Chain A
Amino acid sequence: MKNEELAPHIKDITRALKGKVSEEEIEQELQKWIQKYGVDINQAKRSIVNNLGGDPKELFTPSEKKIKEISGTERNLELKVRIVSINEKDIEVDGEPKKIHYGIFGDETGTIPFTIWETLPEPLDKGDTVHVINSYATTWNDKPQVNVGSRTRMRMLEGDEVPEFKRTSQRCDIRDVREGMSNLIITGRILNVEKKTVQTKNGEKDLYSGIMADETGKIQFSAWHDFGLKEDMVVEVNGGYVRSWRGIPQLSFDDNSTVDILDDGALPPKEQLEESGIMTISQLARRGGAVDAIIDAVMIDIKHGSGLIFRCPECNRVVQKSACRIHGKVDGEPDLRVKGILDDGTGALTVIITREETEEILEYGLDEAMELARDRMDHGVIKEALEDKLIAQPLRLKGNVTCDDYGLMLIASEVKEKKINMEEEARKLLDEVRV
Chain B
Amino acid sequence: MSMIQREVAWRLFAEEFNQSTMEISGSESERTPSYVVTPLGAMVNRVYMVGVLTETENLGTPEDPMWRARVSDPTGTYFVTAGQYQPGAATTIASLEPPAFVAVVGKSSVYRPDDQTVLTSLRCEYIKEVPERLRDYWILEAARSLKKRLEAMEEALRMEEVSIEEIVKLGYEPDLAKGIEKASEHYSSITLDRYWSMLEDSLRYVLPEYERTPVKTNDEPEIEEEESDLEQMILEVIKEMEEDLDQESGVDYTKLMKEVMDRENISEPEFEEAIKNLRNMGQLYEPDLGSLKRIY
Bound form: Cα–Cα A403–B5 in Å: 11
Interface SS of chain A: mixed
Range for the number of chain B residues in contact with chain A:
35 or more
Is B257's CB within 8 Å of the partner chain A? no
B137 with A394: CB separation less than 8 A: yes
Pairwise interchain contact A433-B6, C-beta atoms closer than 8 A: no
> Which single residue of chain B is at the shortest CB-CB distance from A280?
B173
What is the interface of chain B mostly: helix, strand, loop, or mixed? mixed
The answer to whether A301 touches B125, judged by C-beta atoms less than 8 angstroms apart, is: yes
Min distance, Cβ B135 to any Cβ of chain A, angstroms: 10
Q: Mark A394-407, 1 if CB is under 8 A from B, else 0.
A: 10000000011111
Q: Are A422 and B137 in contact (CB under 8 A)?
A: yes
**Given A429-B147, A432-B147: A285 and B5 within 8 A (CB)?**
yes
Please name all residues of chain A whose beta carbon is closer than 8 Å to the beta carbon of B192 when the two chains form the complex. none
| Nearest B residue (CB) for A300 | B105
Asked if residues A420 and B137 are in contact (CB atoms below 8 Å), the reply is yes
B9 lies within 8 A of A300 (CB) = yes
Interface residues of B in 28-86 (CB under 8 A from A): 48, 50
Give every chain B residue within 8 A of A282 (Cβ-Cβ). 8, 173
For residues 63 through 113 of chain B, which have their beta carbon under 8 Å from a beta carbon of chain A? 103, 105
**Which residues does chain B contribute within 8 Å of A427, judged by CB atoms?**
207
A392 touches B128 (CB 8 A): yes
Which of B16-24, B177-185, B197-205, B216-224 faces chain A?
B197-205
Residue of A nearest to B104 (CB): A392
A387 touching B125, Cβ below 8 Å: no
Q: Which of A71-79, A167-175, A216-224, A342-350 contacts B (4 or more CB under 8 A)?
A: A342-350
In the assembled complex, the Cα of A346 lies from the Cα of B149 at a distance in Å of: 12
> Is residue A137 contacting chain B, with contact meaning CB distance below 8 A?
no
Let me know if B3 and A405 touch, CB within 8 A: yes
B105 touching A301 by the CB < 8 A rule?
yes
Distance between B40 CB and nearest chain A CB, rounded to angstroms: 14
One digit per residue, 1 when the CB lies within 8 angstroms of any chain A CB and 0 when it does not, for chain B 116-129 equals 00000000011010
B147 partner, pick from A298, A345, A433, beta carbons under 8 A: A433
Residue pair A429, B173 in contact (C-beta under 8 Å) = no
B204 touches A430 (CB 8 A): yes
The answer, among B7, B126, B130, B206, for a CB contact under 8 Å with A423, is B206
**Interface readout for A405-435 with B: 1 if CB under 8 Å, 0 if not?**
1110000000000001011011101101110
**For chains A and B in complex, what number of residue pairs have CB atoms within 8 angstroms?**
93
Q: Pick from A407, A423, A432: contact of B3, CB below 8 A.
A: A407
For B207, list chain A residues within 8 Å (CB): 423, 426-427
Identify the closest chain B residue to A407 (Cβ): B4
Evaluate whether A433 and B134 lie within 8 angstroms (CB atoms) in the complex, with A341-B6, A346-B173 already known: no
Residue pair B9, A433 in contact (C-beta under 8 Å): no
Q: Is the CB of B203 within 8 A of A348?
A: no
Q: Does A7 contact B (CB under 8 A)?
A: no
Whether B200 and A433, one on each chain, are in contact in the complex, defined by CB atoms closer than 8 angstroms, is: yes
Residues from chain A with Cβ under 8 Å of B105 in the complex: 300-301
A345 with B140, Cβ < 8 A, contacts A430-B200, A430-B203, A433-B200 known:
no
Residue B11 at the A interface, CB < 8 A? yes
Query: In the complex, which residues of chain A have a beta carbon less than 8 angstroms from the beta carbon of B171?
Result: none
Q: Are A423 and B143 in contact (CB under 8 A)?
A: no
B134 partner residues in chain A, CB cutoff 8 A: 392-394
- Name the residue of chain A whose CB is nearest to the CB of B6: A348
Inter-chain contacts of A432 with B (CB < 8 A): 147
Q: What residues on A are CB-neighbors of B276 within 8 Å? A: none
A370 proximal to B (CB < 8 A): no
Q: Quick check: is A181 within 8 A (CB to CB) of the other chain?
A: no
Whether A429 pairs with B144 at a CB distance below 8 angstroms is yes
| A341 / chain B contacts, CB cutoff of 8 Å | 6
Question: A422 contacts which chain B residues (CB < 8 A)?
Answer: 133, 136-137, 140, 206
Query: How far apart sit A143 and B7, CA to CA, in the bound complex (Å)?
Result: 27
Minimum CB–CB distance for B16 against chain A, Å: 14
| A391 contacts the other chain (CB 8 A) | yes
B213 at the interface (CB under 8 A from A): no
B10 touches A345 (CB 8 A): yes
Q: B200 to chain A: closest CB distance in Å?
A: 6
Residues of A within 8 A of B11 (CB): 345
Q: Are A392 and B130 in contact (CB under 8 A)?
A: yes
Interchain CB contact under 8 A, A406 and B140 = no
| A346 and B6 contact, CB distance less than 8 A | no
Q: Report yes or no: B144 in contact with A407, Cβ–Cβ below 8 A.
A: no
Neighbouring A residues of B5 by C-beta, 8 Å: 285, 347-348, 407
Question: When the two chains form their complex, are residues B50 and A392 in contact, meaning their CB atoms are under 8 A apart?
Answer: yes
Q: Enumerate chain A residues within 8 angstroms of B128, measured Cβ to Cβ.
A: 387, 391-392
Sample 9 A-B pairs with CB under 8 A, ordered by A number.
Answer: A281-B8, A301-B125, A345-B8, A420-B140, A422-B206, A423-B206, A426-B140, A427-B207, A432-B147
> Which positions in B face A, CB cutoff 8 Å?
1-11, 48, 50, 103, 105, 125-126, 128, 130, 133-134, 136-137, 140-141, 143-145, 147, 173, 196, 199-200, 203-204, 206-208
Chain A interface residues (CB < 8 Å from chain B): 281-282, 285, 298, 300-301, 341, 343, 345-349, 387, 391-394, 403-407, 420, 422-423, 425-427, 429-430, 432-434
Going nearest first, the 10 A-B pairs with the smallest beta carbon separation are A392-B103, A348-B6, A343-B9, A430-B203, A426-B206, A300-B105, A345-B11, A392-B130, A407-B4, A426-B203
Beyond contacts A345-B8, A425-B140, A429-B147: 20 other A-B pairs, Cβ-Cβ < 8 A, are: A282-B8, A300-B126, A341-B6, A345-B145, A346-B8, A348-B5, A349-B6, A387-B128, A392-B130, A404-B3, A405-B4, A407-B3, A407-B4, A407-B5, A426-B143, A426-B203, A426-B207, A429-B144, A433-B147, A433-B203
